[in-house]
Amino acid sequence: MNLRKRIFSGVQPSGNLHIGNYLGAIANWVKLQDEFESIFCVVDMHAITVPQDPEMLRKKTIEIAKIYLAAGIDPKKSSIFIQSQVSEHAELMWILNTIAKMPELEKMTQFKDKTQKGGSESAAVGLFDYPVLMAADILLYGTEVVPVGEDQKQHVELARDLAKRFNQKFGETFIVPKAFIKEEGMRVMGLDNPEKKMSKSAASEYNYISLLDDEETVKRKIKKAVTDSGSEIIYSDEKPALKNLINIYSSFSNLSPKEIEKKYTGKGYGDFKTELAEVIIGFLKPFQEKFNALSDEEVLKILADGATKVRPIAKAKLDEVKNKVGFII
Ligand code: TYM
């Protein structure tokens, strides 16, 4: 019997996956897969809560899976699958919809952020309901730990609340999951605006470094990254842009922020930025080599195998839930 605790996490196949997604989430998964029974999902059903081009969505779904694999997720240790290939997610979501409350979804900051631009009148119901689908993803598998970046904390809280509410109403059914948010990399900020997180859906490409950016692009983007007033390399809350760049430098090197400060004493932003770009490229190069060596066919096979592996877990939990709420199964 497998007594290891289970982790579950996912990424949406929309936009360009960036170093924030890597540092905030995927890098941690790679470490955790040795300790936990790990399930990693490409959440295409979440992606369609905003308009997607169907062909592009298929392409991005495979791309995300390749990114998981190139980053070091090992399909022998972890299950990787596509959310829409396990229909239990949608079914459990419907049942959880009946215990989730409107005000708890209304207060979700990500929904508020995403509808700020277009207004909530144009938002799809699915965008509003998105955190309930995420709760279904997590609860279906008896997940104990959810490794995510800080921006997903509120969503994991909702999953916890729904698990407790369901258990109270229908008897012990769901494990109450915990978010796992690592201090370093938990919130990588935009290169063009250190007040806002680095985002796949940012309007400007100068907001992020994509995991698939080439050398020249990385250099150009780092050169253009905003910095604070002054010329010294200081790690401080008063210099949020520089602090963000030092955090990125630190995450991709073995140096702590203090060591980086020391290394650049007496040097200016120019030297710092040139070497920061090199540190990032030093990570991206071997990563992209692995990415490029993966064929669509082998990745689709890994995803299909992953779905076959996790489906029985999802079905068993869904049957238990259906039985508890009074469905005839
Ligand atoms: P998504 O696709 O927006 O982001 C994927 C992961 O990357 C993290 N992340 C960041 N971390 C640090 N700095 C940033 N700037 C940054 N931007 C993104 C996110 O926190 C996330 O961990 N709803 C989720 C996907 C999801 C999911 C789940 C996650 C669906 N079901 C179940 C965990 C469990 C999302 O949209 O992530």
Once rounded to an integer, what is the mean pLDDT over residues 11-20?
95
Once rounded to an integer, what is the mean pLDDT over residues 18-28?
96
Half-sphere exposure in the Cβ direction for 224 (13 Å, CA): 16
pLDDT digits (tens, 9 = 90+) for 217-252: 999 999 999 998 888 999 999 999 999 999 999 999
- If residue 79 lies in a helix (H) or strand (E), which one and from where to where? strand 78-82
Active site annotation includes 200: yes
Residue 276 to residue 164: CA distance in whole angstroms: 45
Which of 66, 114, 221, 243 is flagged as catalytic? 114
Could you tell me the sign of the dihedral formed by the alpha carbons of 115, 120, 123, 124, in that order? positive
Q: In what order do the strands lie in the sheet with 178-180?
A: 78-82, 37-42, 6-11, 145-147, 178-180
Query: Domain ranges in the chain?
Result: 6-181+296-325, 205-291
* Helix, coil or strand: residue 210: strand
Which of 153, 182, 200, 324 is flagged as catalytic? 200
Active site annotation includes 5: no
Grade residue 201 by pLDDT with cuts at 50, 70 and 90.
confident
The token duo for 73 is: 């997720």
pLDDT digits (tens, 9 = 90+) for 38-57: 999 999 999 999 999 999 99
Residue type, 273: K
Indicate the CATH number of 205-291 among 1.10.10.10, 3.60.20.40, 1.10.240.10, 3.40.950.10: 1.10.240.10
Residue type, 298: E
Q: Rounded to the nearest whole angstrom, what is the distance from the C-alpha of residue 150 to the centroid of ligand 1?
A: 8
Index of the ligand 1 atom closest to the CA of residue 190: 15
Does the beta carbon of 46 lie inside 6 Å of ligand 1? yes
Does the beta carbon of 191 lie inside 6 Å of ligand 1? no
Does the beta carbon of 12 lie inside 6 Å of ligand 1? yes
* Residues facing residue 18 across a β-bridge: 210
pLDDT at 71 over 60: yes
Q: Rounded to the nearest whole angstrom, what is the distance from the C-alpha of residue 65 to the centroid of ligand 1?
A: 15
User: At what angle are helices 269-293 and 54-71 packed, to 10 degrees?
Assistant: 100
**CA dihedral angle for residue 7, residue 12, residue 18, residue 21, rounded to 10 degrees:** -20
Indicate the CATH number of 6-181+296-325 among 3.40.50.720, 3.90.950.20, 3.40.50.620, 3.40.630.40: 3.40.50.620
Q: What is the mean pLDDT of the chain?
A: 95
Share of the chain above pLDDT 90, in %: 89
Which of 197, 219, 239, 243 is flagged as catalytic? 197
pLDDT digits (tens, 9 = 90+) for 106-150: 999 888 887 876 666 778 999 999 999 999 999 999 999 999 999
- pLDDT value at residue 118: 63
